[in-house]
Amino acid sequence: MSYTTDIKEEISRNIGSKSEMIAELSGYIRNNGHQTSHGFQLTTENPMICERIEKQLDTLYETRVKKEVKDSLNFSKKDLLVLTIEDKKDFILEDIGYQDQNGCYLEKPPQYIVGANEEIRAYLKGVFLSSGSINDPKTSRYHMELLIEKSSEAVFVQKILNLFDLNVKILTRDKGYMLYIKEADKISDFLKIIKANKAVLYFENQRIYRNKKNQANRLNNCEQANMDKVVATATAQLDDITIIEENLGTSLLDEKTQEALEYRKKYPEASLKELSEIISIETGNPITKSGLNHRFRKIKDLATRFKKLKAEK
């Protein structure tokens, strides 16, 4: 079972007030249904959603709908459930804000359907049940989308989503419009809006796990980068020491710098900080990382002079 299916089945178990049922039906039917010669048809692959729509229509309008099972045309293993509203069709479509008294499609639902916060949430729930999906945060990138056929409906849904500061974007597709969110915190907020509480807990747990994993990876990468830098620095210093010793130039260095040279040979993998601490402890003469670095600059300068002399020969 997919994460999207889990969400839809969770919110399908929630029971709202009659005004919320009407708003939810409006969001669902405006983004799912279409007129046919036999009546008004709704389609879904989810039996729980199908049952919810049937119950809401029966509760609100005391009407039974015709239900058929058809083979899915999108190569899905699930059958397609088709609900056909025949009895009281026009009354229902007017009441849920799909059409006006003349049977003409409404560009957006009437204000009485989405006039209050709870009704707006219910409308968005209906839209999500009809055409929404959210990637599983455990296995994929953060992404939530709603596929909407009509431009006026897409703009309206984007507007009410952004009433909750969700930063919803919209893209044109071949067969309609895609509203989408890619920010994890905004997707979590949307789940709270449609009251998918269990889905929120799962989403947040996976989000925390991913954040901690990413943080650990960044720390490991940082530590590795630091180790690589330490090795590169030590290797360069040892190369300089080799050049000086090959040219019998150690005596040209002062006593403290010769000391640094010997300790580098003794501890070839130590960082400058570690080496400064070792020298301070073993000699009893404190030296800072900066002071030790100054001595190695002298070693580098002398090695460079020997390289130039060799190049001039």
Q: What is the DSSP string of 125-149?
A: HHHHHHHEEE--TTTS---EEEEES
Taking residue 291's Cβ as centre, other Cβ atoms within 10 Å add up to 14
Q: What SS3 class is residue 42?
A: strand
pLDDT, tens only, 99-109:
999 989 999 99
- Whether residue 76 has pLDDT greater than 60: no
Q: Evaluate whether 183 touches 142 at the Cβ level (below 8 Å).
A: yes
Contact 120, 162 (CB under 8 A): no
Count the neighbouring beta carbons within 10 Å of the beta carbon of residue 212: 10
pLDDT band, residue 77 (cuts 50/70/90):
low
Mean model confidence pLDDT for the chain: 89
The class that CATH gives domain 3-195 is: alpha beta
Residue burial 263-278, b: 16+ Cβ < 10 Å; e: rest:
bbeeeeebbbeebbbe
- Find the Cα–Cα–Cα–Cα dihedral 229, 235, 237, 243, rounded to 10°: -150
CB 67, CB 50: distance < 8 Å: yes
What residues contact residue 164 under an 8 Å CB cut-off, 6+ apart? Answer: 189, 190, 193
The whole-angstrom separation of Cα 287 and Cα 290 is 8
For 138-176, the pLDDT digits (tens) are 887 889 999 999 999 999 999 999 999 999 999 998 889
Sign of CA dihedral 89, 90, 94, 98: positive
The domain spans of the chain are 3-195, 218-312
Task: Decide the pairing of beta strands 39-44 and 80-85.
Answer: antiparallel
User: What is the phi/psi pair of residue 66, to 5°?
Assistant: -85, 130
Residue 5's pLDDT is: 92
Helices (H), the chain: 3-12, 18-30, 47-61, 89-95, 117-131, 151-161, 184-193, 197-246, 255-266, 272-283, 289-312
* C-alpha to C-alpha distances, 245 to 131, 294, 299, 311, 313, nearest whole angstrom: 76, 19, 11, 17, 19
Q: Would you state the structure tokens that stand for residue 92, as one six-digit string? A: 């229902």
What is the band of 217 on the pLDDT scale with cuts at 50, 70, 90?
Answer: confident
The dihedral through the CA atoms of 190, 195, 196, 201 has a sign that is positive
pLDDT at residue number 207: 82
Confidence grade of residue 230 (pLDDT, cut at 50, 70, 90) = confident
User: Is 98 buried (19+), middle (13-18) or exposed (0-12) by CB count in 10 A?
Assistant: buried
Average pLDDT over residues 213-236: 82
Nearest to 105 by CA among 88, 123, 89, 93: 93
